[in-house]
A = this chain, B = another copy of it.
Amino acid sequence: MSEKHDHDSHYHELSGHEGQAKIAELVKGIRIAMMTTVAKDGTMSSRPMAVQDTPFNGTLWFLTRRESEKVEEVAEDQHVTLTFAEPKDSKYISLKGVASVNQDRSKIKELWNPLYKAWFPKGEDDPEIAVLRVEVSEGDYWEASGSKLVMLVKYAAASLTGGKVPVGEAGHVAV
């Protein structure tokens, strides 16, 4: 799709449903993602977040505390990055997106599972619970190939050929 790549022959650029299905396959089984938000002082804050156990379809949903640092940060700057790491398989995924927060009770009910009781002992009706929704716009996937990690998948929600998403250069290969 692009001539400037010096990629592994298994490299794919994917978009739309095909890309979503691939991301779903890659993140499947990784229960915790690190979510990075922009802090008020211009630095970036990361923390682990429990991922819903449903196939990825372009949107990621989290339950969180309404009064929390990340909710404040997302209110100021909607950009977030989510990274998924599975060292035992040498699998690394980064997803970029735009986050928003709501308190839709029916969505909270849909996302709720008993494990959340560890954080919200009052249960799903606790008014402190909020929904953090991330619309994923793009993502990258790396996997071990010999002794190095190579980017194997580049995903864009919009078509990669539509010119909206810059295609990586040689430097994206991780060292």
Interface residues, chain A, with chain B CB atoms under 8 Å away:
30-32, 34, 36, 38, 42-50, 62-65, 67-71, 79-81, 83, 85-88, 90, 92, 94, 96, 115-116, 118-119, 140, 142, 146-149, 168-175
Contact = CB atoms under 8 A, between A and B. Distances in A.
Number of copies of this chain in the oligomer?
Answer: 2
B87 A45 contact: no
Given A62-B175, A115-B148, 11 more contacts: A32-B85, A32-B149, A36-B44, A43-B96, A44-B81, A46-B94, A67-B171, A68-B171, A83-B83, A87-B87, A88-B88
A127 B67 CA distance: 50
A4 to B, nearest CB: 12
Contacts of A64: 171, 175
A95 B45 CA distance: 9
B69 A119 contact: no
A68 B118 contact: no
Given A86-B87, A94-B45, A63 B175 contact: yes
A119 B119 CA distance: 44
A170 B65 contact: yes
17 contacts: A34-B34, A36-B46, A36-B81, A38-B44, A43-B79, A44-B81, A47-B142, A47-B172, A65-B173, A65-B175, A68-B169, A68-B172, A71-B171, A83-B83, A85-B85, A86-B87, A119-B148
